[in-house]
Amino acid sequence: MTMQERIAELDRIRHEILDGAPAATEAQHAKGKLTARERIELLLDPGSFQEVEQLRRHRAQGFGLEAKKPYTDGVITGWGTVEGRTVFVYAHDFRIFGGALGEAHATKIHKIMDMAIAAGAPLVSLNDGAGARIQEGVSALAGYGGIFQRNTKASGVIPQISVMLGPCAGGAAYSPALTDFVFMVRETSQMFITGPDVVKAVTGEEITQNGLGGADVHAETSGVCHFAYDDEETCIAEVRYLLSLLPQNNREAPPAVPATDPADRRCERLRSLVPLDGSRPYDMREVIAEVVDDGEHMEVHERWATSVITTLARLGGQVVGIVASQPSSLAGVLDIHSSEKAARFVQLCDAFSIPLVTLVDVPGFLPGVDQEHGGIIRHGAKLLYAYCNATVPRIQVILRKAYGGAYIVMDSRSIGADLSLAWPANEIAVMGAEGAANVVFRRRIAGAEDPDAMRQQLVKEYRAELMHPYYAAERGLVDDVIDPADTRVVLVKSLTMLRTKHAGLPTRKHGNPPM
Higher-pLDDT residue of 141, 482 = 482
What is the greatest pairwise CA distance in the chain? 110
C-alpha dihedral, 257 to 260 to 262 to 265, nearest 10°: -110
* Residues 499, 503, 505: CA angle, nearest 5 degrees: 150
The answer to whether residues 384 and 414 touch, using CB atoms and an 8 Å cutoff, is no
Q: What b/e string do you get for 363-380 counting C-beta neighbours within 10 Å, with b at 16 or more?
A: bbbbeeeebeeeebeebb
Instruction: Give the pLDDT confidence score for residue 66 in this predicted structure.
Output: 66
Instruction: Give the pLDDT confidence score for residue 452 in this predicted structure.
Output: 83
Instruction: Give the pLDDT confidence score for residue 67 in this predicted structure.
Output: 60
Per-residue DSSP letter, 170: G
Q: What is the mean pLDDT of the chain?
A: 92
Q: Which residues are within 8 A (CB) of 19 and not within 5 positions of it... i.e. 6 or more apart? A: none
pLDDT tens digits, residue range 308-355?
Answer: 999 999 999 999 999 999 999 999 999 999 999 999 999 999 999 999
Provide the residue count of the chain: 515
**Structural domain boundaries of the chain?**
3-243, 270-429+469-498, 433-466
In this prediction, residue 139 has a pLDDT band, given cuts at 50, 70 and 90, of: confident
**Helix (H) or strand (E) run with residue 123 in it:** strand 123-127
Instruction: Give the pLDDT confidence score for residue 161 in this predicted structure.
Output: 98
Q: Which of 268, 293, 276 lies closest to 483 in space, CA to CA? A: 268
Instruction: Tell whether the model's pLDDT for residue 65 goes beyond 80.
Output: no
In this prediction, residue 128 has a pLDDT band, given cuts at 50, 70 and 90, of: very high
Amino acid at 507: T
Instruction: Give the pLDDT confidence score for residue 355 in this predicted structure.
Output: 98
Instruction: Give the pLDDT confidence score for residue 429 in this predicted structure.
Output: 83
Instruction: Give the pLDDT confidence score for residue 62 in this predicted structure.
Output: 66
Superfamily of domain covering 270-429+469-498:
2-enoyl-CoA Hydratase; Chain A, domain 1 (3.90.226.10)
Provide mean pLDDT across the span 450-471: 78
Rounded-to-5 percentages of helix, strand, coil across the chain: 45, 20, 35
Q: What residues are labeled active site? A: 170-171, 405-406
* Residues 77, 83, 89: CA angle, nearest 5 degrees: 15
Confirm whether 3-243 and 270-429+469-498 share one CATH topology.
yes
Q: How far is CA 514 from CA 356, 378, 383, 397, 411, in A?
A: 21, 6, 9, 26, 18
pTM for the full predicted model? 0.93
Instruction: Tell whether the model's pLDDT for residue 20 goes beyond 80.
Output: no
CATH architecture observed for domain 3-243: Alpha-Beta Complex (3.90)
pLDDT tens digits, residue range 360-402?
Answer: 999 999 999 999 999 999 999 999 999 999 999 999 999 999 9
Instruction: Give the pLDDT confidence score for residue 170 in this predicted structure.
Output: 82
Instruction: Give the pLDDT confidence score for residue 495 in this predicted structure.
Output: 97
- Dist CA 128 CA 142 (whole Å): 19
Q: Which of 495, 499, 497, 513 lies closest to 389 in space, CA to CA? A: 513
Q: Where are the beta strands (DSSP E) in 331-470?
A: 356-362, 394-403, 419-422, 427-429
Instruction: Give the pLDDT confidence score for residue 179 in this predicted structure.
Output: 98
Provide mean pLDDT across the span 482-487: 98
- Dist CA 380 CA 342 (whole Å): 10
pLDDT tens digits, residue range 169-209?
Answer: 888 899 999 999 999 999 999 999 888 988 999 999 999 99
Provide mean pLDDT across the span 444-452: 80
Instruction: Tell whether the model's pLDDT for residue 502 goes beyond 70.
Output: yes
Burial of 418: CB neighbours in 10 Å, binned 0-12, 13-18, 19+: buried
Q: How far is CA 68 from CA 21, 324, 506, in A?
A: 13, 54, 56
- Dist CA 52 CA 184 (whole Å): 26
- Dist CA 413 CA 417 (whole Å): 5
Provide mean pLDDT across the span 497-511: 90
